[in-house]
Amino acid sequence: MSGALLDVRGLRTVFHFLEGAYPAVDGISFTMRSGEVLGLVGESGSGKSVAGLSLIGLIDPPGEVVEGEVLFKGRNLRTIGESALRQVRGKEIAMIFQDSLAALNPVLTVSEQMVEAIREHADVPLPAARERVIAALRQVGISSPETRIDQYPHEFSGGMRQRVAIATALLNKPDLIIADEPTTALDVTIQGQILAEMQTLARETGTALIWITHDLGVVSELADRVAVMYAGRIVEIGGIDDVLDRPCHPYTQGLLDSIPAENAPGSRLRQIDGTAPSLAARPVGCAFRLRCQRAGPLCAEREPDVTEGPSGQSWRCHHPIPQGDRP
Amino acid sequence: MTTTPAQTTPIIGLEGLSRDFQRPPVLAERLLALLGRKALPPVLRAVTDVDLAVRRGEVLGLVGESGCGKSTLGRMVSGILPPTQGRVTFDGQAVPTLTGRDKLGYVLGVQMIFQDPYASLNPRQKVGDIIAEPLRVHGMATSRREVIERVDTALAEVGLDPSYKERYPHQFSGGQRQRIGIARAFIVNPRFLVCDEPIAALDVSIQAQVINLFMDLRDKYELTYLFISHDLSVVRHIADRVAIMYLGRLVEIAPAADLFAQPAHPYTRALLAEIPSVKRRRRKFQPVRGELPSPLNPPPGCTFHPRCPFAIARCREERPVLRDIAPRRQSACHLSDQI
């Protein structure tokens, strides 16, 4: 895939504990084109956040990226070295975190930290950098940015802080933004505002977006493609319409089934029984088999490989949901 | 079917219920007060003049965004927080006037489930002791043996193995902890549960399990719920009636099916439009603008008017009252007849 903006191959991140190394991200592979929005969906502990951090080398001990390649515009980010990676981070690839209060420096004004983000990567005079910051804040819907720029993060509401984080990510016109649950802590009306702005910005600037979330509804409305993670692996990936309308993996189907709006009001929800296995206690074979209604003897013996369908949708399952069975 | 007065009396009634909060004065304010200058800290009205009746056996969903006062309302219903004005009634009797057996009936009959399953369980107590504590406090078991039996039953009821009672809360996942919280509320045989965002902290697949548990328990024990949530899709699933709250006031009350089919208040419409759905793809988002105003300084007139796409001059001056707009439906909007 030469036209890919991002080509991730067999990325594996482990966490070292006294008892051994446990894989939080267990060999994930995917590609992204410029301007594409990829939803990365999973429950807590599925490895989706670790996957996002692993892409740009932000894993701290006891975590370690041990295998795989992250080819970004043809360069392998895993081997270019820390100083080159620093130039990529915040310039070509930006990240937005769930907790904007923790992501912003509380003792610096918004202006100070955003100007730093510009001048770290380019020799821009201070007044010009300030102008760019004001323009970026206005772009994400912050009113009277000329005065708000000199305020501290605690003077902003949660929604406004997340806008500041987004504006910071956009400052250097990155090719890729990795957003980790950026709207999870926000109210639905504020989430709607942020999604609207992200969508417009991605379209206008051609920025590709990895949107990490547990909310399939948000992904459905925002993404072009979706990857579903379970126990450190991408168990299904494909175009948004393929995966959400014709899921092949039983876990994807289970997630869709447990959404209240997909069940008649007052009826019993079709739940997935059990809980996701912890990092240290993943079962042999398919990690989902203990919660899966389609599991057979083969699932306990060996882990399923990736199968790819005609439309580019692929899944890891020995007993995928047959597409002929659908109404 | 004929109804007796006992059946029509709401199990919980709220009459003109308000709650203010005021921080303690800081030193400067105390000094100014000593000098005879009026410098009291501002009063925050979290809940304003709420009238609401919860009928026996119904699930009433209470929906609003963070800071709208829904948790404060829930805490007043369960008696954790006294109201500043107005009163809560239980089986038609005002709660402050209850004594003796009636008071115990309210204290035990109305239980609360909290949002954060990590903060609401004592980390140093064994699960069995956490669940048994209400029994001990109220002297509801005659022997140690009975305590153990009832804890085992409560654990089994919420889908946990009775052997778990020897473990500590940190040994459980979020969903399991929420089940422990439900078992603790359940052991005193309540009739009314205030559920304050009980599934907001849980994963999608675990949310479905806990919603199913709530519905099973309701069917089995004919419980009544006040189900507080910011998540309209969950409320749509579980609630019979829905009350929408904005900046401390109720702005719409309607049977769930009607509310979702035809929302009356512009705020309800905005909320409904923003529920992310797996049925919609590549949506062009057109969200309601602005944010929840500060309850310290609420806008005049209708508190929603700065964000409302339909606002007219009257909305800026006169506050709309909650009034009947159809059978069993109420809305607080000047434009209820027009839009």
What pLDDT does residue B180 have? Answer: 93
Of A181, A259, A288, A291, which to mutate for an interface test with B (greatest number of B Cβ within 10 Å)? A259
Q: Do B279 and A196 touch (CB under 8 A)?
A: no
A221: nearest Cα among B233, B281, B272 = B281
Question: Who contacts B196 (Cβ-Cβ below 8 Å, separation ≥6)?
Answer: B70, B71, B74, B75, B112, B113, B114, B115, B228
The pLDDT tens digits of the residues spanning A288-303 come to 999 999 999 999 999 9
The pLDDT tens digits of the residues spanning B87-122 come to 999 999 999 999 999 999 999 999 999 888 888 899
From A220's Cα to the closest Cα of chain B, the distance in A is 5
Of A198, A269, A273, A293, which to mutate for an interface test with B (greatest number of B Cβ within 10 Å)? A269
Q: Across the A/B interface, how many CB contacts are shorter than 8 Å?
A: 131
Is B209 near chain A, with CB under 8 Å? yes
Chain B residue nearest residue A242, CA to CA: B281
Q: How far apart, in whole angstroms, are the C-alpha atoms of residue B38 and residue A81?
A: 63
What pLDDT does residue B338 have? Answer: 56
Q: Do B233 and A259 touch (CB under 8 A)?
A: yes
From B208's Cα to the closest Cα of chain A, the distance in A is 5
The secondary structure of B89-119 as a DSSP string is: EETTEEGGG--HHHHHHHHHHEEEE-S-TTT
Q: Do A266 and B238 touch (CB under 8 A)?
A: yes
Block residue for tokens 């027009």:
B338
From B178's Cα to the closest Cα of chain A, the distance in A is 14
Question: Which 23-62 residues of chain A touch chain B by CB within 8 A?
Answer: 43-44
Q: Do B274 and A189 touch (CB under 8 A)?
A: yes
- Residue A5 · residue A72 · CB < 8 Å: yes
What pLDDT does residue B2 have? Answer: 43
Q: Do A222 and B271 touch (CB under 8 A)?
A: no
| Contacting residues of A for B203, CB less than 8 Å apart | 43-44, 214, 276
Average pLDDT, chain B: 89
Question: Which 99-118 residues of chain B touch chain A by CB within 8 A?
Answer: none
> Does position B156 have pLDDT exceeding 80, yes or no?
yes
Question: Which 154-173 residues of chain A touch chain B by CB within 8 A?
Answer: 157, 159-160
| Contacting residues of B for A199, CB less than 8 Å apart | 284-285
Q: Do A195 and B270 touch (CB under 8 A)?
A: no
Q: Do B65 and A188 touch (CB under 8 A)?
A: yes
The pLDDT tens digits of the residues spanning B267-320 come to 999 999 888 888 888 777 777 777 778 888 889 999 999 999 999 999 999 999
Is A116 near chain B, with CB under 8 Å? no
Q: Which residue of B207, B274, B281 is in closest CB contact with A191?
A: B274
Query: Model ipTM?
Result: 0.80
All domains of chain A, ordered by start, with CATH? 6-33+42-81+226-325 (3.40.50.300)
> Does position B173 have pLDDT exceeding 80, yes or no?
yes
Both structure tokens of A68: 């795989």
Q: Do A217 and B277 touch (CB under 8 A)?
A: yes
Q: Do A189 and B271 touch (CB under 8 A)?
A: yes
What pLDDT does residue A318 have? Answer: 95
Residue B26 pLDDT grade (very low, low, confident, very high; cuts 50, 70, 90): confident
What pLDDT does residue B231 have? Answer: 87
Question: Which 227-246 residues of chain A touch chain B by CB within 8 A?
Answer: 240-241, 244
What pLDDT does residue B37 have? Answer: 78
The pLDDT tens digits of the residues spanning B226-237 come to 999 988 889 999
Is B206 near chain A, with CB under 8 Å? yes
Is A292 near chain B, with CB under 8 Å? no
> Residue A231, by phi and psi: left (phi above 0), alpha (psi -120 to 50) or beta?
left
From A259's Cα to the closest Cα of chain B, the distance in A is 7
Please name every residue paired with B52 in a beta bridge, in sequence order, or none if there are none.
Answer: B14
Q: Do A188 and B215 touch (CB under 8 A)?
A: no
Question: Which DSSP state fits B64?
Answer: -
**What is the mean pLDDT, run by run of 10 residues, along chain A of 327 residues?**
82 90 93 93 90 93 93 94 91 88 89 93 93 89 87 87 89 92 82 83 86 92 94 95 95 92 87 84 90 93 92 94 66
- Residue B83 · residue B16 · CB < 8 Å: no
Buried (b) or exposed (e) across B48-58, using 16+ Cβ within 10 A?
A: bbbebbbbbeb
Q: How far apart, in whole angstroms, are the C-alpha atoms of residue A172 and residue A229?
A: 30
Q: Which has the minimum average pLDDT: A185-194, B52-61, B217-226, B257-266?
A: A185-194
What pLDDT does residue A327 have? Answer: 41
Block residue for tokens 């675990």:
B206
Chain A residue nearest residue B288, CA to CA: A189
Residue B7 pLDDT grade (very low, low, confident, very high; cuts 50, 70, 90): low
Q: Which has the minimum average pLDDT: A30-39, B30-39, B121-130?
A: B30-39
Q: Do B278 and A199 touch (CB under 8 A)?
A: no
From A139's Cα to the closest Cα of chain B, the distance in A is 15
Buried (b) or exposed (e) across B291-321, using 16+ Cβ within 10 A?
A: bbbebeebbebbbbbebbeebeeebeeebbe
